[in-house]
Structure 1
Amino acid sequence: MKAIVSNKYGPPDVLELTEVEKPIAEDNQVLVKIHAASVNYGNLVLLKGEPFLARFAFGLLKPKYSIPGGDIAGRVEAVGKDVKQFQPGDDVFGDLSGCGWGGFAEYVSVPEKVLALKPANISHEEAAAVPMAGVTALQGLRDKGQIQSGQKVLINGASGGVGTFAVQIAKELGAEVTGVCSTRNIDILRSIGADHVIDYTKEDFTQNTQSYDLILAVNGSHPLSAYKRTLSPNGKFVHVGGSGVQMFQTIVLGPWISMTGSKKMSSFLQRPNQIDLNYMKELLEAGKVQPVIDRCYKLREVPEAFRYFEEGHAQGKVVITV
């Protein structure tokens, strides 16, 4: 089968389209013919080996997982004898980041617990855009942010992959949602239901008088003190992405700020979860969440897709059609 392979850390140029052995389904595994995959920040970490601490999980000197790609959608081709949930012919989608990656390929064999049935009302490309970004948004808002109906919620970096899901999920959970984006993305946020949109090229939301019960930081480089100033007295700040300085401040200073006052500030890493993936499936089937896709690339164009993704201006998700 064809696959994108990386045998060393580096820029997108280290990725090569090559022939590798097609996997087989072990007793507890599902063999999926991949129709689409998508690019996430975790893919970029796996590609470049940065930040360096990530190499303790991904391989110190070279990638432990030679085929990147976390999110997939496709059709079940075979199942192992112990598999209970799926059968050949089922359309599925899932997040492979917790079981060895391997999504940028024609086939992958994975445990059934990382997959869910694909919603029938969306395409494979749309389904591949969902797992990692959608579940990150869901867990960040619901579990870490403890979002409540009626709260004022701000999503910084609202026009990217995680951000577009976060806007829609926060609305579904009853929040009044403000999205922060650049001028060219204002219409996108309005189209997916944002109550208010702030153009960061014209206004700094940390300098106005509005306060928020929950801030989900998906992007940006504001210091932690600016976010703290913008929170309501019992507000919560959840960092899921942004500048390295911002991440460092949240990890180091967040716990101290949370212990010494009523405002809570924390960082968050998504964990693949079949229950939450099925929850996203229900939202998609009900039309309450719609994936936003910026561009689609072919498998041989994965290096180009990474270069575009690295620029940081994707409107929604970057998808690979396999």
Structure 2
Amino acid sequence: MRSVQRIKALGAKTSATCGPSNIAFVQSLGADHVIDYSGKDFMVGLDRFDVIFDAVGKSSFVSCRPLLAPGGTYVTTLPTPSLFFWSGVQSIAGIFRNAKRAKGILVRPSGKDLAYLCQLADEGKLRPTISLTCSLDRAAEAHEASEAGHTRGKIVFEV
């Protein structure tokens, strides 16, 4: 969800996917267009995108490729062996103009990035979302909530 806010802070037009119960919430984060992924064939009829950012690993380059504009890029935080295969193929195809690309990213701690996120928060462009606050003795409950995939934000433990 923070991805929507960070992308908006860069001045980009954003589309985001979510279930029906989160549409208003995702709109409140700044998404210009919200797509309900619970509908049958929800990807049919969508515009083409310059970038598709899969922050949760629910899609693949192959499934998103038809939605990419010429020269578009699919980015995921959970690279798979198939993504590395497509990265090799695109290296060969890269000699052609407007080839679609796939990239995997791994996030590492960075003081510079943290300072930038703090600046966005200070400017009101990044609002932290907390789903659950609990003591450490409720860690199992918090873990179950996270694994179920129905949390809107971060889980905070009181120490």
TM-score normalised by L of structure 1: 0.45
Please say if residues 134 and 156 of structure 2, whose CA atoms lie closer than 8 Å, have aligned partners that are also in contact.
yes
Q: Which runs of 4+ in 1 moved over 4 A?
A: none
| Structure 1 position 219 matched with structure 2 position 50 | no
Q: Distance in 2 between matches of 1:220 and 1:186?
A: 20
Gaps of at least 5 residues in structure 1 are 1-163
Using the TM superposition, give the Cα deviation of residue 192 of structure 1 relative to its aligned residue in structure 2, in angstroms: 0.9
The answer to whether the aligner puts 1:183 opposite 2:20 as a matched pair is yes
Identity, % of aligned pairs? 33
Q: Any conservation in 2 of the 1:212–1:232 contact (CA below 8 Å)?
A: yes
Taking CA–CA contacts closer than 8 Å with sequence separation of 6 or more, which of the two structures ends up with the larger relative contact order?
1
**Residues 104-253 of structure 1: pairs in structure 2 closer than 5 A:** 164-202=1-39, 204-241=41-78, 247-253=80-86
DSSP-derived class of the 2:87 partner: helix
Separation of aligned partners in 2, 1:172 and 1:199? 23
1:209, 1:301 → 2: CA distance?
A: 42
Q: Does 1:300 align with 2:137?
A: yes
User: What's 1:73 paired with?
Assistant: none
2:66 is paired with a residue of what secondary structure? helix
Residues 258 and 265 of structure 1 are in contact (CA less than 8 Å); yes or no, is this contact kept in structure 2? no
Deviation track 1:63-115 (CA, whole Å, cap 9, x = no partner) reads xxxxxxxxxxxxxxxxxxxxxxxxxxxxxxxxxxxxxxxxxxxxxxxxxxxxx
Give the counterpart letter for 1:314 in structure 2: T
SS at match of 2:14: strand
Q: What does residue range 7-86 of structure 1 map to in structure 2 within 5 Å?
A: none
1:186, distance to aligned residue in structure 2 (A): 0.6
Distance change in 2, residues 1:258/1:292 (3 Å): farther
Taking structure 2 as the reference length, what is the TM-score of the superposition? 0.89
Instruction: Give 5+ residue unaligned stretches, structure 2.
Output: none
- Deviation track 1:47-74 (CA, whole Å, cap 9, x = no partner) reads xxxxxxxxxxxxxxxxxxxxxxxxxxxx
| Corresponding residue pairs, total | 155
> Conserved in 2, the CA contact under 8 Å of 1:239 and 1:250?
no
Aligned equivalents of 2:49, 2:19: Cα separation in 1: 20
Structure 1 residue matching 2:65: 3-state secondary structure = helix
Rounded to whole Å, the distance in 1 between the matches of 2:15 and 2:75 is 15
Alignment root-mean-square deviation, CA: 1.7
Cα distance change on mapping 1:268 and 1:320 into 2, 3 Å:
same
Answer yes or no: is the 8 Å Cα contact 1:206–1:229 preserved in 2.
no
Counterpart CA distance in 1 for 2:77 and 2:41 is: 20
